[in-house]
Amino acid sequence: MRLYDCETAPSPRRVRIFAAEKGIELERVPVDLAGGEQFSDEYRAVNPDCVVPTLELEDGTCIGEVVAICQYLEEVYPEPNLLGRTPAERASTQMWNAKVEQQGLWATADAFRNAAKGLKGRALPGPDAYEQIPELAVRGRARAASFLEKLDRQLDGREFIAGALYSMADITALVFVQFAQRLKIATPENATNLQRWLEAVAVRPSSNA
Amino acid sequence: MRLYDCETAPSPRRVRIFAAEKGIELERVPVDLAGGEQFSDEYRAVNPDCVVPTLELEDGTCIGEVVAICQYLEEVYPEPNLLGRTPAERASTQMWNAKVEQQGLWATADAFRNAAKGLKGRALPGPDAYEQIPELAVRGRARAASFLEKLDRQLDGREFIAGALYSMADITALVFVQFAQRLKIATPENATNLQRWLEAVAVRPSSNA
């Protein structure tokens, strides 16, 4: 299996960590997002949304979207489990993954894409050109900061975000928290639950993937 | 099982259609979004994000987020299958569901929430107050229109959105297309694949749920 990837982007990092936790070796194909390679005809044939990651299977099937890729990898390599062991655990993992995406990761994406000088006219990923909306960058920073506090509350008395086990929700949250740090949206000093969790998950070998 | 619900909101409609396709009868608890009931202490105990839908299980566990609720229902009531029968089908269903959410449904939500007079200061669902951003309403309409064309291309030669079977991706797309119609974002006349699909899925009895 091949992973179309970019070292610096948050979304493919989620898949790299997920695969590393399972010990899956993926052939990595770098896509030069800064150079616009995602808009090439070759890459549009792989993923018409012009985004990474994409997982290409042996038969040529291309899977986009992190949740779809991770679900596929979980089915093909079930251990260690990262999506939950019971229907209720799986629901909690999906729920928290969705919350972290929508309230955390997409907020940092708004903050980044609507402010970066190199992304003028490209405020959204994908083939269509949209102008930056500076108010959206401001709102994204506020939402991300608010969600860091929510994660701290969720981690009060819990080792991991979605339940007793490390899961996809922790991976998405780690990528969110560290991307927020890159944007100078700091993890609050008094968010002791979040700090404790971050120290634990950031030292897992997978976090270097 | 109880579904905290609202007749007029798109997200709980996705769960109602999903359950209707499976013949699951859920006890429905209406939440008066227009009257602000989602911000009450009672409802915050059910879902601290102050959004519908929420599925409450017999043991009191509350599951939020449509993807998590649908996955839970699929596991407890596997037939008829709505999430795919093989790992590749399930990946395609999750991928298309995510695309329809992010590129379609969230775009219509931006269009609606940033323009509705009754939602001033409440441009995002949830407990935090955010001002409307008029440019985001304009962008949402443009993105939704663009995504209707993309759906038309995807349905060229395909009966359903994610593969050979009707799935969660079709449900999310139906709710998106009909919400766009409510906002006067019309399905293009020449989108014949999309029109054919819409006629077929809109007459399923579940679409009245």
Strands in B2-5's sheet, in edge-to-edge order, are B27-30, B2-5, B54-56, B62-64
SS3 A69: helix
A103–chain B nearest CA distance, Å: 10
pLDDT at A23 over 90: yes
Phi, psi of A74 (to 5 degrees): -60, -40
Does the pLDDT value for residue B163 go beyond 90? no
Give the whole-number percent of chain A exceeding pLDDT 70.
Answer: 100
What domains does chain A contain, in order, with CATH numbers? 2-76 (3.40.30.10), 87-204 (1.20.1050.10)
Interface of A with B in 45-64 (CB under 8 A): 49, 57, 61, 63-64
Q: Which of B95, B98, B130 sits opposite A139 (nearest CB)?
A: B130
DSSP string, chain B: -EEEE-TT-HHHHHHHHHHHHHT---EEEE--TTTTGGGSHHHHHH-TT--S-EEEPTTS-EEESHHHHHHHHHHHS-SS-SS-SSHHHHHHHHHHHHHIIIIIIHHHHHHHHTT-GGGTTB-SSSSS-B---HHHHHHHHHHHHHHHHHHHHHTTT-SSSSSSS--HHHHHHHHHHHHHHHTT-PPPTT-HHHHHHHHHHHTSGGGG-
pLDDT tens for each residue of B30-77: 999 999 999 999 999 999 999 999 999 999 999 999 999 999 999 999
Q: Tens digit of pLDDT for each residue in A74-124?
A: 999 999 999 999 999 999 999 999 999 999 999 999 999 999 999 999 999
Q: What pLDDT, on a 0 to 100 scale, did the predictor assign at position A187?
A: 87
Which of A57, A65, A95 is facing B68, going by the closest CB pair? A95
Confidence of residue B161 (pLDDT cuts 50, 70, 90): very high
Contact call for B99 and A64, based on CB within 8 A: yes
Q: State yes or no: pLDDT of A46 exceeds 90.
A: yes
Per-residue tokens: B97: 């569901």
Average pLDDT value for chain A: 97
Average pLDDT over residues A22-46: 97
Residue position matching structure tokens 């997409």: A106
Interchain pair B65, A99: CB under 8 A: yes
